[in-house]
């Protein structure tokens, strides 16, 4: 009786029950494992998640108007923008006082800049007001402000300020999808054709990226197949040729394509020399969509070949041999047996190439002309040139959304577990 009880609780050498000891050891190894992942986790948090969260908040942030014109914004709430009359003296007084204050803090033009995104002219309106308000010392402020610039006497000006004084805005997203909120009515309207850019650019980016992905597959598949089937020594040498351009600077590769493809370039010269085209009919292969597709297919090719190669390496040669020995035509054996086995590699390569392609901007900027630029070129423009970070962020969030949606679609159809990177 006693013996059996003792046996039922297993203990370690120092007397602690085995269960507790095991849990302790497991906890320790869990902590060790976690602490080893911790640096990576922190890195991802700082370098990836926080910037994305920041981008999300930038794309809806509109606190600037309220921050710099708090009293005016509150006073404007009592004004009926559809009444057809200007706001009352209280609003003008608050505006003059707040522009004076903002001028000292050098912030008055920031409101102007924000509102200028919605309606051209606000930038100069606020800059000018910053110069003029210091001479306005006593009421009536209304007449004085209107005297400094007649635009303050237009109802439209105040409608815009009121309309875009909320803490958060959907204005950047609307702009990113070629819509605009009418300041007078508050209704969302789509932009006329001569002003719409972004939907076309999103569509073009997807279309050209798909084409580039398809071309890398068409070129990469036979190449990967050859690499996987020749002797290891030869394939090691050939792999170098795949990787060599991969290690070369992106700019060098892009400019080499310019030298090759331009109208006075190597390829056109050759075609003229052998008489395929005449001198006046030189082909335009660069500074258009063709240039972007050619250069990017070349640049992204390794991203297709490497996953394909690593998957093909693992397919036993005996599969195809077995199929052929059972009477299948070599082509049928390849198509029915070998090709389906490369699926995970095709999936990984395609996703990789496509996602890199839709975010590319240096190559399209250099060789894309006007018909071969991507949405990322506009994002880069808004981040580094126009400084409209709100719109740049909104475009970025939409692009991120598209990538995630495609990723999920891929998971639904093919299954993400089926993807193999090597």
Partner 1 sequence: MKKFIRAMAATAVMVMVGFVGQAMATELVVVSWGGAYTASQQKAYHAPYMKLNPGITIINDDSAGSAVAKLRAMSQAGNVTWDLVDAVASDTMILCDEGIIEVIDHDRDLAPAPDGTPASKDFGGFIVSECFVPQIVYSTTFGYRKDLVSRPMSSICDIFDLKSFPGKRSLEKKPINNLEWALICDGVAPAKVYDVLGTSAGVDRALAKLDTIKSQVVWWTAGAQTPQLLADGEVIVGSTYNGRLFALIEEQKQPVAMLWDWQVFDLDGWVVPKGTKNKAEVMKFLRFATDTQRLADQAKFISYGPTRASSAPLVGKHATLGIEMAPHMPTDPNNAKTTLLFNYEFWADHRDDLDARFNAWLLK
Footprint of partner 1 on this chain (CB under 8 A)?
105-107, 109-110, 113, 116-117, 120-124, 127, 193-197, 200-201, 262-265, 287, 365-366, 369-370, 378, 381, 383-388
Nearer to partner 1, 40 or 252 (CB): 252
Compute the distance between CA of residue 217 and CA of residue 34 in angstroms, rounded to an integer.
Answer: 39
Report the alpha-carbon distance of residue 182 to residue 199 in Å, rounded.
19
Q: Using the structure block, give the residue that is written with the tokens 């890195």.
A: 43
User: For residue 189, what are the β-bridge partners?
Assistant: 180
CB of 35 to partner 1, least distance (A): 29
- Cα separation, 182 vs 255, whole angstroms: 45
Beta carbon nearer to partner 1, 213 or 262 = 262
> Closer CB to partner 1, residue 66 or residue 110?
110
CA 110/CA 96 separation, integer angstroms: 16
Measured from the CB of residue 360, what is the shortest distance to partner 1 in angstroms?
15
Compute the least distance from the CB of residue 193 to partner 1, in Å. Answer: 8
CB of 176 to partner 1, least distance (A): 12
d(Cα 100, Cα 90) in Å, to the nearest integer? 16
383 vs 402 by CB, closer to partner 1: 383
Shortest Å, Cβ 30 to partner 1: 36
| Phi, psi for 61 (deg, rounded to 5) | -70, 135
CB-nearer residue toward partner 1: 26 or 386: 386
Least Å from the CB of residue 286 to partner 1: 9
Q: Look up residue 50 and give its two tokens.
A: 């926080």
Strand-pairing partners, residue 420, are none
- CA distances (Å), origin 102, targets 64, 167, 233, 361: 12, 18, 71, 38
Smallest CA-to-CA distance from 175 within 157, 188, 194 is with 188
Please, which residue, 216 or 376, has the CB nearer to partner 1? 376
């Amino acid at each position: 009786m006693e013996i059996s009880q003792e046996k039922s609780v297993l203990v370690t050498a120092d007397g602690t029950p085995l269960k507790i000891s095991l849990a302790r050891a497991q906890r320790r190894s869990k902590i060790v494992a976690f602490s080893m992942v911790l640096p990576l986790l922190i890195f991802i948090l700082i370098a990836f998640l926080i910037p994305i969260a920041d981008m999300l908040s930038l794309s809806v942030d509109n606190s600037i108007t309220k921050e710099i014109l708090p009293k005016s914004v509150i006073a404007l709430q009592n004004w009926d923008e559809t009444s057809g009359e200007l706001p009352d003296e209280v609003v003008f007084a608050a505006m003059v006082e707040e522009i004076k204050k903002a001028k000292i803090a050098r912030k008055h033009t920031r409101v102007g800049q924000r509102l200028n995104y919605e309606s051209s002219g606000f930038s100069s309106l606020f800059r000018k007001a910053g110069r003029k308000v210091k001479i306005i010392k006593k009421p009536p402020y209304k007449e004085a402000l209107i005297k400094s610039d007649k635009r303050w006497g237009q109802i439209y000006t105040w409608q815009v300020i009121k309309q875009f004084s909320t803490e958060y805005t959907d204005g950047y997203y609307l702009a990113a999808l070629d819509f605009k909120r009418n300041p007078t009515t508050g209704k969302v309207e789509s932009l006329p054709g001569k002003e719409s850019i972004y939907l076309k650019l999103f569509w073009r980016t997807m279309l050209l990226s798909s084409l580039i992905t398809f071309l890398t597959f068409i070129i990469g598949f036979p190449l990967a197949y050859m690499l996987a089937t020749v002797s290891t020594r030869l394939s090691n040498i050939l792999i170098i040729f795949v990787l060599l351009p991969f290690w070369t600077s992106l700019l060098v590769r892009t400019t080499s394509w310019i030298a090759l493809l331009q109208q006075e370039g190597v390829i056109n010269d050759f075609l003229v020399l052998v008489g395929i085209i005449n001198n006046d009919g030189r082909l335009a292969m660069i500074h258009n969509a063709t240039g972007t597709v050619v250069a990017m297919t070349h640049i992204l090719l390794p991203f297709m070949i490497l996953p394909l190669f690593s998957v093909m390496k693992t397919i036993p040669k005996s599969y195809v041999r077995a199929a052929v020995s059972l009477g299948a035509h070599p082509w049928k054996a390849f198509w029915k047996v070998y090709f389906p086995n490369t699926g995970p590699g095709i999936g990984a390569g395609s996703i990789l190439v496509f996602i890199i392609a839709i975010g590319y901007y240096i190559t399209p900027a250099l060789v894309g002309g006007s018909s071969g630029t991507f949405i990322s070129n506009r994002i880069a423009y808004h981040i580094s040139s126009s400084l409209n970070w709100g719109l740049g962020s909104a475009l970025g969030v939409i692009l991120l959304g598209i990538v995630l949606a495609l990723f999920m679609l891929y998971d639904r159809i093919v299954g993400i577990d089926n993807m193999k990177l090597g």
